[in-house]
Structure 1
Amino acid sequence: MILIVMGVSGAGKTLIGELLAQQLHCSFTDGDAFHSAANKAKMHHGIPLTDEDRWPWLDAIRAAIKEKQGAGETAVFTCSALKRAYRERLRGGDNDVCFIYLQGTQALLHERLQTRTGHFFDPSLLQSQLDTLEVPGAEEAITVNIAGTPHEIVREALTQLQARGEYAA
Structure 2
Amino acid sequence: MKYIYLLSVLTTAVSFNSQALEITSQDIHEGQLMAKTFEYSGMGCDGGNQSPQLSWSDAPKGTKSFAITAFDPDAPTGSGWWHWTVLNIPATTHNLPQGASGKLTQGLETRTDYGKPGFGGVCPPVGNGMHRYQFTVWALPQEKIDLPADISPAVVGFTLNSMAIDKAILTATYVR
TM over 0.5: no
TM-score by length of 2: 0.27
Structure 1 or 2: more helix by fraction: 1
| Higher relative contact order, structure no. (Cα contacts within 8 Å, ≥ 6 residues apart) | 1
TM-score by length of 1: 0.28
